[in-house]
Amino acid sequence: MTPLLQVKSIAKAFGGNHVLQNVNIDVHAGEIVGLLGPNGSGKSTLLNTITGFEAPDSGQIIYERQRIESLTAHNIVKTGIARTFQLPSMPQKMTTIEVAMAAATGHHGFWATLLNTPAARSAEQQAREKADALLNELQLTPVRNLSSAALSGGQKKLLGIVCALMADPKILMLDEPTAGVHPNLKRDIVSALQRLNTRGMTLVVVEHDMHFIRELCHRCVVLDRGHIVANCRPEELATNEQVLDAYLGNARPVNRTNTTGMQKIQVLAS
Ligand SMILES: Nc1ncnc2c1ncn2[C@@H]1O[C@H](COP(=O)(O)OP(=O)(O)OP(=O)(O)O)[C@@H](O)[C@H]1O
Ligand SMILES: [Mg+2]
C-alpha cells in the first residue's frame, strides 16, 4: 500500500550545522508514529520541513502522491496536514475561544465577513460550535473566555491541539504535546488522540515520555544527530542497540543484561 506521507532523503542545514541528513520516513494511513531522539537531534526541524515552516535543502516530501516540499505552511494545512508547536505562543488580545475559532479553515471571504452575510454568520456559528466541542474534549471549557496569553504552559499546549484539529487534518503532527502537562491530563490526551485515531486520523508525535509513547504509538522512529537510527515497535526501544547508543552513548552500562534501558532512556530524555 502506498504510504500516506513519504519523507525521502531530506536534508537541512543551518550554516554548517547539518541538522537533518538523508532522512527517510514512510507514514501509512491510520498509523500513530512516535518520533523520538535526544535534545537537538532534529525532531522539531523535521516537523518544520514537513509542514512548510522550513524549506528542506534537498529531498522530497510526498503526501497523497503529491510533492509538497515547496508548498507554503498555509497550503500544506489545506492539503490535510496540521501540526502543533513545541513552544506555542498565543495572541495577547484574543480569548481562548477566539483563538480556536480563528484556526477554522472554512471561510467565506473578507467582504462576506465584513458585511455580516448569512453565509458568514453560519460559518462563524459552525466554527464556534466546533471550537466549543474541542475545548470541551481537551478540558479547556473553564478558560474559554480568558485571554489566551493568560493560560498556563500546559493549557497553551492543549489549545495548540484544538487549533490544529480545527483544520480537520488527515495527519496531525504533535511536537511534545504533553510537556508540562499534569499526569492525569496526559492520560486524557492519550485517550483523546486514540479516539481521533479510531476515527481515522493519522498521527505523528514527537515525545520524550516513554510511558506515553508505549501507550499510544504503533511504531517509533528515532533520530540521532540528524540521522534515522531506528524504526521499531515501542516495546523494542529498550533493547535496540542504536537507540541505547543515541540516548546513552558512553554512559551505557557494560553489563547489558542488567540494562534497564527504558528507564535510562526516560531519565535522559526528560
Ligand atoms: N532556525 C534555526 N536556525 C539555526 N539553527 C536551528 C534552527 N532551528 C533548529 N536549529 C538547530 O537545529 C538543531 C536541532 O534542533 P531541533 O529543534 O530540531 O531539535 P529537537 O530534536 O527538536 O530538540 P528538542 O528535543 O530539544 O526539542 C539544534 O542544533 C538547533 O539549534
Ligand atoms: Mg524539538
Q: Is residue 114 part of a domain?
A: yes
Instruction: Please work out whether the CB of residue 9 comes within 6 Å of at least one atom of ligand 1.
Output: no
Residue 228's closest CA among 45, 59, 43? 43
Instruction: Please work out whether the CB of residue 42 comes within 6 Å of at least one atom of ligand 1.
Output: yes
pTM given for the model = 0.89
- Length of the chain, please? 270
Residue nearest to atom 31 of ligand 1 (CA): 40
Q: Label the pairing between strands 32-36 and 202-206.
A: parallel
The residue written with cell numbers 487549533 in the block is 163
Residue 115: predicted pLDDT: 66
Instruction: Please work out whether the CB of residue 86 comes within 6 Å of at least one atom of ligand 1.
Output: yes
Do 134 and 107 reside in the same domain of the chain?
Answer: yes
State the Cα–Cα distance between residues 198 and 234, nearest whole angstrom: 19
Q: Is residue 161 part of a domain?
A: no
Do 179 and 261 reside in the same domain of the chain?
Answer: yes
Residues 103 and 73 sit within 8 Å (Cβ to Cβ): no
State the Cα–Cα distance between residues 63 and 107, nearest whole angstrom: 24
pLDDT range class, residue 247, cuts 50, 70, 90: confident
The yes-or-no verdict on residue 89 having pLDDT over 60 is yes
Set of cell numbers at residue 2: 502506498
Q: Is residue 158 part of a domain?
A: no
The yes-or-no verdict on residue 78 having pLDDT over 90 is yes
In angstroms and rounded to an integer, the radius of gyration of the C-alpha atoms of the chain is 20
Residue 117: predicted pLDDT: 73
Do 218 and 172 reside in the same domain of the chain?
Answer: yes
Pocket-testing residue among 17, 47, 49, ligand 1, by greatest number of atoms within 8 A of Cβ: 17
Residue 41: strand, helix, or coil: coil
Nearest atom in ligand 1 to the alpha carbon of residue 15 is: 4
Q: Is residue 162 part of a domain?
A: no
Crossing angle of the two packed helices 153-166 and 118-137, in degrees rounded to 10: 130
Domain count of the fold of the chain: 2
Could you report the per-residue pLDDT of 215-246, keeping only the tens digit for each? 999 999 999 999 999 999 999 998 999 999 88
Residue 258: predicted pLDDT: 44
Q: Is residue 155 part of a domain?
A: no
State the Cα–Cα distance between residues 248 and 62, nearest whole angstrom: 33
Instruction: Please work out whether the CB of residue 270 comes within 6 Å of at least one atom of ligand 1.
Output: no
Could you report the per-residue pLDDT of 126-141, keeping only the tens digit for each? 899 999 999 999 989 9
Instruction: Please work out whether the CB of residue 88 comes within 6 Å of at least one atom of ligand 1.
Output: no
Domain of residue 229, CATH code? 3.40.50.300
Pairwise pLDDT comparison (138 vs 58), residue with the higher score: 58
Residue 113: predicted pLDDT: 58
Do 50 and 137 reside in the same domain of the chain?
Answer: no
Instruction: Please work out whether the CB of residue 12 comes within 6 Å of at least one atom of ligand 1.
Output: no
Q: Residue 57 to residues 71, 152, 153, 187, 239: CA-CA distances in angstroms?
A: 14, 36, 33, 38, 34
Nearest atom in ligand 1 to the alpha carbon of residue 38 is: 25
Domain coverage including residue 124: 91-150
56: CA distance to ligand 1 center in Å? Answer: 14
Do 185 and 216 reside in the same domain of the chain?
Answer: yes
The yes-or-no verdict on residue 157 having pLDDT over 70 is yes
Which ligand gives the minimal distance to the CA of 41?
1
Instruction: Give residues whose Cβ lies within 5 Å of ion ligand 2.
Output: 43-44, 86
45: CA distance to ligand 2 center in Å? Answer: 7
